[in-house]
A and B are shown apart, each in its own frame.
Chain A
Amino acid sequence: MLYNEKSPTEYDAIVIGTGITGGFAAKELCEKGLKTLVLDRGRNIRHVVDYTTANMDPWDLENGGQKSEAELAKDYPKQRRTGYTTRPEWVHHFVKDSEHPYEEEKDTRFDWIRGYQVGGRSLVWGRQSYRWSEMDFEANAKDGIAIDWPIRYKDVAAWYDYVESFVGISGMNEGLKQLPDGKFLAPMDFTCVETDLRKNMESKWKHRRLTIGRTAHITSDGEKFGKRGECQFRNRCMRGCPYGAYFSSNSSTLPAAEATGNMTLRPDSIAAEIMYDDKTQKATGVRVIDAKTKESIEFKAKIIFCNASTVGSTSILMQSKSKRFPNGLGNDSGELGHNMMDHHFQVGASADVDGYEDKYYKGRRPNGFYIPRFRNLPGHNDSKKDFIRGYGYQGGASRKNWERGVAEMGYGQQFKEDLFKPGPWRIGMNGFGEILPYHDNKMELIDKKDDWGLPLVKFSTTLRENEMKMREDMKSAAVEIFETAGYKNVEPFEKSYGVGLGIHEMGTARMGKDPKTSVLNKWNQIHSVKNVFVTDGSCMTSAACQNPSLTYMALTARAADFAVKELKKGNL
């Protein structure tokens, strides 16, 4: 239920944030019987009812699908860096930089792309869902980089099963060590050319595999998902799906939490700090600033899940100062704010493909193909000496449409009529690479305040040599794959990237074995404040190259299970 004047101020649990992990924490805690206050700093977005642009065609959209230059410059100077988040179809699911500014250290760039609404970025995420492998959890220890993860794949495997089954992931198993199999619904089709490339890669390389993207859409077994429906292949996901076919907090976890009767949802609630009592060495609750009235309200709870997103959660911890924690809640190590990571991308290749003129496709697939990491895998000879870790590719092959008429200089009746027909095939792919954890890649709070009296964030992040060398390889390996397949006019590309543009920003409150070098323990508990759990991207100790949300959700479900068990034992 929505918070109202009759709602209590004391709960069993508080969840800060309703994004992809906040929603999951809310569901888990409520389903385990806890009376839970669920906060979000943004406005409510009700599933289906509030998806205002869901069915609009291109000719229905403001300014033909683009915001005016004046508006972009004034309100979206940072959000526009993606090239797509500011489209009218879904711009209302992203913040206005003019209302939520941040700063970047001189000569550095950080692209902080986010939305402040119930559901957070689970409304607009790319839905790609891949498991980490044992290799990913071991990597820091093996490479002597940063600190070791306090967990391994075996600790999370059952939780991957659990979240995949609830979320509904479409994909196919490939038996690859570097990309564990999962619990999948029917995989989406390849286009003819993608099948061609898959076969070609299979014949040329033993362990380079092209598979279909693993994506959080219901494509079969619809009856197992309650009110959610099957994907209709409209590819209008970021607007919100009237069928509930892709996973979001709004379509999936928040309704599940609501159904228990244990959830009180309070939107427009900015968490200013987590309150701490040094006598009990526990957090007592959350002080909230109402986003609309700016009044300060204190809510109490036995346990707190901080799921405000990487930067949001770390900011809240930094704002939670006390005599015991002068540098922010749980920050004995000094690592809070440090080791910021993302996935670097915007580098790959594209090519023309001859043939298949008699073939086409039907439907708009909200997914592409995926080439899992093949670089630097133990036991394989596909390794590079000038960088460690690796990357995957995401791409697709489709037929050119009338847009080719721009470059194909021509005019007249035949020229026009030809553009009514599907054009030649084209294929492309973009690499997503791991960024190492560097202590100096960081965020901090500065003296400047926002409209609610809370400090602004300043970022200081750059790519370093390992990433730059990896990017060179991402480009040349993509070219190699397309040339080997016999495609024509193979062209590499590299577009502008700033840390954060991958919208997978993670780290800054990392997990670890030692309280001297980490903020969280192996259960996502703050080492020194055992009733506070942080399970969003901020907890990550390394980044791997796989899209991270599935891992965040698995860690959340695991931590919630532990938290409730501990609470029932009287340990919290």
Chain B
Amino acid sequence: MKRRTALKNLSLGLGYTMTYAGMAAFVTSCNADNPVNEVASTWKPTFLKEEQSTMLTEILDAMLPTTKSSPGFKDLNLIQVLDNVANKLYKKEDQITFSAGLVDIAAKMEASKDINGFMKTYMTKKPEGEEARIDKLIDLDREEVAEGDINAYNFHKTIDSIRSIGISAYFTNEIIGTEYLSYDPIPGKYVGCMPVSEVGNVWAL
């Protein structure tokens, strides 16, 4: 899985737009007909351990919390998406990285005063030089990583994965897409330049 930026390829001439979309199809029957809580109580993770599932839910709910105007990560039961991605879409070496990273994250959660302490330390931007070094490190394939860097690789790549899948899962969820973002399945025409005020929120599709 490539790091951080979901798409750099803007060559629309190839007839496609690469998006990181649609992760929410993983969610077991999580739609308007099925109460989320009912689903939450029957689902069991396949790849994650139960305590990791709980931990990641806490972290991602702190990242994408419920607000006055929109649901949060936990409300939509999106932890299922993370579990399914790691299970089905990850190559073996990425699964190894992910598992090792989760152990490290658990230790750091333990050592933090509370969830806010963890988020403040590990989910905020670092000085530019350090950010650039981390970017370069996690861009490598696992086999290219020097032995001395492997712990940092596991941790930072897993943080990146959690952010990436968590954010994608949230914003490509059907409820978010159709009720909270600007949803227009059949636009009918294309207007290239217009006031943003006439659209509102970012396009869902």
Q: What is A's interface to B at a CB cutoff of 8 Å? A: 55, 57-66, 68-70, 83-84, 124-128, 188-192, 194-195, 213, 231-235, 237-238, 345, 348, 350, 357-368, 370, 394-399, 401-403, 405-413, 415-417, 419-423, 426-430, 493, 495, 547
Contact = CB atoms under 8 A, between A and B. Distances in A.
A395 B10 CA distance: 6
A403 B122 CA distance: 19
Given A57-B174, A69-B91, A396-B10, A416 B188 contact: no
B202 A406 contact: no
A66 B10 contact: no
A188 B173 contact: no
Given A125-B15, A232-B188, A420-B181, A412 B63 contact: yes
Nearest to B123: A411
B202 A420 contact: yes
A403 B167 contact: yes
A421 B202 contact: yes
Given A63-B25, A64-B22, A399-B202, A411 B192 contact: no
B158 to A, nearest CB: 13
B11 A401 contact: no
B107 interface: no
Contacts of A427: 10
B192 A190 contact: yes
Given A64-B81, A232-B188, A364 B24 contact: no
B205 to A, nearest CB: 7
12 contacts: A63-B88, A69-B88, A195-B192, A238-B16, A358-B195, A358-B196, A406-B5, A406-B167, A411-B119, A422-B201, A430-B9, A430-B11
B25 A361 contact: no
Given A84-B16, A419-B167, A63 B6 contact: no
A126 B167 contact: no
B25 A58 contact: yes
Interface in B1-55: 4-26
A428 B9 contact: yes
Contacts of A364: 17, 187, 190, 203, 205
B196 to A, nearest CB: 4
A55 B168 contact: no
A416 B67 contact: yes
Given A59-B24, A66-B89, A405-B163, A428 B67 contact: no
Contacts of B196: 357-360, 422
Given A65-B19, A189-B193, 17 more contacts: A62-B25, A64-B22, A69-B89, A83-B9, A83-B18, A128-B15, A232-B187, A234-B185, A348-B11, A350-B10, A361-B192, A363-B188, A363-B191, A403-B5, A409-B125, A420-B70, A422-B201
Contact of A58 (B13, B84, B164, B205): B205
A64 B88 CA distance: 11
Nearest to B196: A360
B185 A411 contact: no
Interface string B139-183: 000000000000000000000100110011111111001001100
Give the dominant DSSP class at B's interface: loop
B109 interface: no
Contact of B19 (A58, A68, A405): A58
Contacts of B106: none
Nearest to A400: B202
A336 to B, nearest CB: 30
B100 interface: no
Nearest to B20: A403
A345 B186 CA distance: 32
A399 B14 CA distance: 19
A366 B188 contact: no
A430 B4 CA distance: 20
Given A194-B192, A403-B167, A358 B187 contact: no
A78 to B, nearest CB: 17
Contacts of B123: 409-411
Nearest to B163: A406
A406 B164 contact: yes
B14 A419 contact: no
Contacts of A345: 11
A168 to B, nearest CB: 16
Nearest to A417: B67
Contacts of A55: 185
Contacts of A362: 184, 187, 189-191, 194, 198-199
Contact of B192 (A189, A348, A422): A189
B22 A61 contact: yes
Given A59-B174, A350-B8, A403-B7, A370 B13 contact: yes
Contacts of B9: 83, 428, 430, 495
A396 B17 CA distance: 11
A427 B11 CA distance: 10
B172 A58 contact: yes
B97 to A, nearest CB: 14
A345 B63 CA distance: 38
A410 B122 CA distance: 9
Contacts of A195: 192-193
Contacts of A361: 190-194
Contacts of B64: 411, 416
A191 B4 CA distance: 25
A188 B190 CA distance: 7
Nearest to B95: A69
Contact of B22 (A59, A359, A410, A415): A59
A242 B196 CA distance: 30
A234 B174 contact: no
Given A365-B12, A411-B123, A420-B201, A65 B22 contact: yes
B174 A394 contact: no
Contact of B13 (A128, A399, A402): A128
Contacts of B174: 57, 59
A126 B205 contact: no
B13 A394 contact: yes
B5 A411 contact: no
A419 B17 CA distance: 20
Nearest to B59: A411
A62 B84 CA distance: 12
Nearest to A348: B11
Contacts of B201: 420-422
Nearest to A90: B16
Contact of B194 (A57, A359, A366, A428): A359
Contacts of B168: 403
Nearest to A55: B185
B11 A394 contact: yes
B120 to A, nearest CB: 9
B205 A417 contact: no
Interface string B103-141: 000000000000000010001111000000000000000
